[in-house]
């Protein structure tokens, strides 16, 4: 109950323009500023430097430009051009070529056809430069459109692209059957959006149970699945299941968020597992940052200590 209350409070705070303006003055001001615990920086260059450091410690990575759903086609075009510039900068830097993006930034909520065209604009050069592109999943009203666009592009032979499923949604187990049959690469998450009980599990135990069912199917039947979780119990369950089924560590990977459970990230790498870190960056970092605070009370203590040190 407390976890749900904290999450609701911080999600609401993430929409406060007043708090966002205040945070923007201090959150990224210095290398040790509180915002940098969970966000690599406001620019792609800062994200690349953070990613380079992670690679040096044995992690895989994916870059993600933070941003909210756009409301005009001009904004969608600008977001597309930002992603194209990110691809160019990543190629020049020499770091791993892997990015994640949200279709709402490319115009999904305005015009699905234009969103699809914008995505093709990104996937073209991404394919030529051998990137892998992950389509992040958003709130439940966008799931079908996201999967439809993914399936359309898959049929058009865009294969260096993957998608995300949320265990919390009732529909996801059926979606997984279709994606496994296609041979698509799936990233499995619990789901961070507040969804109604008509479409999603409400109890943590039910979400965890759905995650385990889907995780085991992905390990058995999936194409290089990505298991995204910071839950030690679920990670141990995945390790035990893979070992029991004779599934080698080269056939799947764990994925975790930048700055979250860094001890667990390092432990998995030391055990020989591939761990991909989601490296977020961008000027619209505050809502994302507040969601991270709501997920784990210990994160709040870190921010308080950081603020006291900056006084």
20 plus 136 within the same structural domain: no
* Residue 136 designated active-site: yes
How many other β-carbons are positioned within 10 Å of the β-carbon of residue 267? 14
Global model pTM greater than 0.75: yes
301 plus 236 within the same structural domain: no
Least confident piece of the model among 6-20, 71-85, 208-222: 6-20
Task: Write down the pLDDT at residue 88.
Answer: 98
Q: Report residue 37's pLDDT band, with 50, 70 and 90 as the boundaries.
A: confident
94 plus 242 within the same structural domain: yes
Question: Which of 109, 136, 175, 208 is flagged as catalytic?
Answer: 136
Average pLDDT for 7-21: 52
222 plus 272 within the same structural domain: yes
**Rounded CA separation 169/140 (Å):** 8
* Residue 187 designated active-site: yes
- Phi and psi angles of residue 195, each rounded to the nearest 5 degrees, phi first: -120, 150
Q: Under 8 Å CB-to-CB from 224, ≥6 apart: which residues?
A: 185, 251, 252, 253
Percent of the chain with pLDDT over 70: 81
Which residue range forms the structural domain that includes residue 247?
A: 43-282
Average pLDDT for 115-125: 97
83 plus 223 within the same structural domain: yes
**Rounded CA separation 279/266 (Å):** 16
How many other β-carbons are positioned within 10 Å of the β-carbon of residue 281? 24
How many other β-carbons are positioned within 10 Å of the β-carbon of residue 93? 16
Question: At 65, which CATH number?
Answer: 3.20.20.220
23 plus 154 within the same structural domain: no
In the chain, the number of structural domains is 2
277 plus 141 within the same structural domain: yes
Chain segment 121-163, per-residue pLDDT in tens: 999 999 999 999 999 999 999 999 999 999 999 999 999 999 9
In the three-class reduction of DSSP (H, G, I as helix; E, B as strand; rest coil), residue 145 is classed as helix
59 plus 8 within the same structural domain: no
Question: Which of 36, 97, 185, 187 is flagged as catalytic?
Answer: 187
- What is the DSSP annotation of 212-247? HHHHHHHHHHSSS-EEE---HHHHHHHHHHHHHTT-
């Amino acid at each position: 109950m407390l976890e749900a209350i904290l999450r609701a409070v911080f999600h609401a705070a993430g929409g406060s323009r007043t708090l966002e303006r205040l945070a923007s003055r201090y959150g990224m001001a210095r290398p040790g500023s509180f915002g940098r615990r969970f966000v690599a920086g406001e620019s792609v260059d800062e994200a690349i430097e953070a990613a380079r450091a992670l690679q040096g410690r044995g992690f895989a990575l994916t870059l993600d430009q933070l941003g909210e759903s756009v409301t005009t086609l001009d904004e969608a075009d600008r977001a597309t051009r930002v992603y194209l510039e990110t691809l160019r900068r990543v190629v020049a830097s020499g770091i791993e070529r892997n990015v994640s993006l949200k279709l709402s930034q490319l115009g999904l909520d305005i015009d699905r056809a234009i969103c699809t065209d914008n995505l093709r604009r990104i996937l073209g050069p991404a394919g030529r430069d051998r990137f892998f592109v992950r389509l992040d999943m958003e709130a439940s009203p966008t799931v079908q459109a996201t999967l439809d666009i993914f399936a359309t592009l898959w049929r058009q032979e865009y294969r260096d692209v993957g998608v995300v499923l949320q265990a919390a949604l009732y529909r996801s187990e059926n979606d997984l059957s279709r994606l496994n049959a296609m041979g698509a690469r799936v990233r499995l998450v619990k789901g961070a959006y507040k969804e109604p009980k008509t479409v999603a599990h409400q109890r943590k135990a039910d979400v965890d149970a759905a995650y385990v069912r889907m995780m085991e199917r992905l390990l058995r039947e999936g194409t290089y699945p990505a298991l995204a979780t910071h839950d030690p119990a679920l990670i141990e369950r995945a390790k035990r299941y893979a070992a029991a089924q004779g599934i080698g560590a080269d056939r799947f990977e764990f994925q975790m968020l930048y700055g979250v459970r860094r001890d667990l990230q390092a432990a998995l790498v030391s055990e020989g597992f591939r761990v991909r870190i989601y490296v977020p960056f961008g000027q619209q970092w505050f809502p994302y940052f507040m969601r991270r605070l709501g997920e784990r009370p210990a994160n709040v203590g870190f921010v308080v200590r950081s603020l006291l040190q900056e006084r």
